Amino acid sequence: MRGTRAYIFQDNLRHNLGEIKKHLRPGTKICLAVKADAYGHNAVAVAKIAQEFGADFLAVATVDEGIELRERGVSAGIILLSLCTPQEMPLLFEHRITPLVFSQDYIKCLSDCADSYFGGTSARHEVHLAVDTGMGRLGCLCDEAAHQAEMISSSPHLALGGMMTHFALSDGISSEAQDFTRNQYDDFVRAVQSVRSAGISPGICSCANSAALLAHPEMHFDMVRPGIIAYGYYPDEVTRDYLAALGIQIDLRPVLSFESEVLAIRRFPAGKSASYGRTWTAPRETDIAVLPVGYADGLLRRFSPGVEVTINGRNYPVVGRICMDQCMVDIGRDNPDVRLWDRAVIFGPKESGALHTADDLAVLGGTISYEVLTSISKRVGRYLI
Tens of pLDDT along 147-204? 999 999 999 999 999 999 999 999 999 999 999 999 999 999 999 999 999 999 999 9
Does 378 participate in catalysis according to the annotation?
Answer: no
Could you confirm whether 276 is annotated as catalytic?
Answer: yes
Which has the closest alpha carbon to 162: 91, 84, 69, 99?
Answer: 99
Under 8 Å CB-to-CB from 326, ≥6 apart: which residues?
A: 290, 291, 292, 293, 294
Choice among 29, 35, 233, 316 that is catalytic? 35
Average pLDDT of 273-283? Answer: 96
Assess whether the previous peptide bond of 269 is cis (omega < 30° from 0): no
382 within 8 A of 2, measured Cβ to Cβ: no
- 288-297 pLDDT, tens digit per residue, is 999 999 999 9
Question: How far, CA to CA in Å, does 24 sit from each of 16, 48, 206, 236, 274?
Answer: 13, 21, 13, 21, 52
Helices and strands in the chain: count of H runs, count of E runs = 12, 19
Candidates 108, 276, 350, 383; catalytic one: 276
| pLDDT at residue 256 tops 90 | yes
Q: Is 286 helix (H, G, I), strand (E, B) or coil?
A: strand
pLDDT tens across 319-337, in order? 999 999 999 999 999 999 9
Query: Is residue 120 very low, low, confident or very high in pLDDT (cuts 50, 70, 90)?
Result: confident
- Which residues lie closer than 8 Å to 133 by C-beta, 6 or more apart? 139, 142, 165, 183, 184, 185, 187, 188, 191
d(CA 375, CA 34): 15
Its pTM stands at: 0.95
Confidence bin at 1 (pLDDT 50/70/90): confident
pLDDT band, residue 86 (cuts 50/70/90): very high
pLDDT band at 125 (very low <50, low <70, confident <90, very high): very high
